[in-house]
Amino acid sequence: MGRRILSFGVAATHARITALSAFGDVVSISDFDAFALDPHVLRAGVNHEVLSRRQAEIRDLVQRKGGLLLCILRPPCQMQTTMGGVQDVLNLLDMANPQIVAIVKSGLRMGTATKWGLVGPRKGVTFGCVQSLGNRLRPEAFLELERGFSEGVGVLTVAENSAGWPVSFEFACGPGRLCFVPVPVDVKDSQLGAAVARMVEEHFGGSVEVELPEWVSGVSVPGAEANDARIAELEKQREEVAVELARLSEEKSRLLNFRVLLFGYGKSLLEPAVRQSLRELGFKVLEPEEYDGEWDVDLTDEGTGASAVGEVEGSEGAINVDKLRQLLEYVEAEENAGRKRKGILVGNGYRLKGLGDAERKEQFTEAAIRRARGFEYCLLPTSELFAAVSAVLKSPNDNGLKKHIRDSILSTVGPWKFTTLAETGGTASAGAD
């Protein structure tokens, strides 16, 4: 009987392939023997509960049923969830093998390759699929992982670009397997479907499906067990290294995400980065689903009880008065409800300009500055917020520094500028320009 394959976002047709029309459908991934996925289809956003369910189904497919998961290798991208904030689209695969998937996420880089080739001799089940599709595959990303290390953690390289970085690879997930292949281009749906079906059959045609007779376990081979102790030791070390690498990679990604403050815009990119940055300064910052208002930022200084609501705007030009009008409505609504709130407009004006360009010094229009002063609101440039976060990251235990920055933001009327302790003669705050 042929193996059943579920696909989502992959244009492959075959008698054994069923297309998943929507990510939230009731169809279970773990009811199939294989799952083919193009992660870019998740960029539009996913329901948090559905995401959790799909992660568990993928775990059961791979770890319990020994199934195959085929993933198109795309450049790093993120998905918005209904719980707020953004996640890496590959988080969907986390439960298949948390350590290895973390390594893939940390090493994945954008990079189109016009010259690439298979790594012989033929190994794994992905080799045949990539070989059969040949020049109809186009690498759009690669894994920045040295071959020695990749082999040490169990990653099998199938194809490399001209620089020697993997553009197709696979690894075992317990009894199952996770395979990455380049992006199919100008491939007939039926041809791609046939390649995927053959790949799945080859996976199950190996040791996963073979049942050994009971008497075989009693047959010994001289020397086969001589290195068992060393193998166990190395396996333990590999697990420890993988866990540590995953932890360090996640922390690096978290810190590098603060750079979004300098070029980002929108609800899925800039707003989460702003909220995380304000938390780094010591504010209590709620996620949008945790409060009833429509504003982008809701923060409180728990030490003083002072609080604020904020709007976030990223623009290729200067930030004008539009968001201030919206912010005014929110602040007045809070005041009418008996809650005194500071108004903060967080702006990333001229977001595509270099940090040294003159425009970066004047990110708000004169009209916006006048209105902000009239309303007694703070105008917070994301470039200055980045500078403040950077200072805090350099001195993470300096609670006095954090307090001065929080006090300054909540007391400033008009544009805010971060100033170092040395520049302020012992304080870290700065007021309006």
Per residue in 82-123, pLDDT (tens digit) is 766 788 999 999 999 888 898 899 899 999 998 999 997 777
Determine whether 230 is exposed, middle or buried from the number of CB atoms within 10 Å of its CB (0-12, 13-18, 19+): exposed
**Under a CB-based contact definition with an 8 Å cutoff, are residues 262 and 360 in contact?**
no
CA 173 vs CA 54, 94, 123, 234: distances in Å = 17, 11, 16, 18
Contact 144, 105 (CB under 8 A): no
Place of tokens 């350099």: 394
- C-alpha span between 44 and 169 (Å, rounded): 26
Q: Looking at the domain that runs over 5-209, which CATH code has it been given?
A: 3.40.50
The token duo for 181 is: 């292949």
> In 190-329, which ranges are E strands?
284-286, 297-300, 307-314
Please give the pLDDT value at position 422: 57
Domain extents in the chain: 5-209, 258-415
pLDDT at 33: 96
Torsion angle of the four alpha carbons 14, 17, 192, 39, in this order, in degrees rounded to the nearest 10: 160
Choose among 383, 362, 378: nearest CA to 277.
383
The residue type of 341 is: R
Q: Do the domains at 5-209 and 258-415 have one common CATH topology? A: no
3-state secondary structure of 375: helix
Helix (H) or strand (E) holding 383: helix 382-394
Amino acid identity at 226: A
Please state the separation of Cα 203 from the chain's center in Å.
29
Q: Which CATH class is domain 258-415?
A: alpha beta
Q: Which amino acid is located at 424 in the chain?
A: T
Question: Does a cis peptide bond (omega within 30 degrees of 0) precede residue 121?
Answer: yes
In 3D, which of 212, 145, 129, 207 has the Cα closest to residue 174?
207
Nearest 5°: the CA angle 134, 138, 144 is 110
Q: Residue 138: in which H helix or E strand, if any?
A: strand 137-138
How is residue 365 written in tokens? Answer: 């229009």
pLDDT one-digit tens code per residue, 161-188 = 999 999 999 998 889 999 999 999 989 9
Looking up tokens 């990539």, which residue turns up? 130
Q: Can you give the length of the chain in residues?
A: 433
- Integer-rounded Cα radius of gyration of the chain: 26
pLDDT under 50: residue ranges of the chain = 206-211, 427-433
From residue 47, give the alpha-carbon distance in Å to each of 44, 50, 54, 84, 400. Answer: 10, 5, 11, 10, 40
327 SS3 class: helix
Report CA-CA distances (Å) from 411 to 140, 290, 293: 48, 25, 23
| pLDDT for residue 98 | 87
Tens digit of each residue's pLDDT (9 = 90 or more) over 271-293:
999 999 999 999 999 998 899 89
Token pair for 71 = 């993933």
3-state SS of 294-322?
A: CCCEEEECCCCCCEEEEEEEECCCCECCH
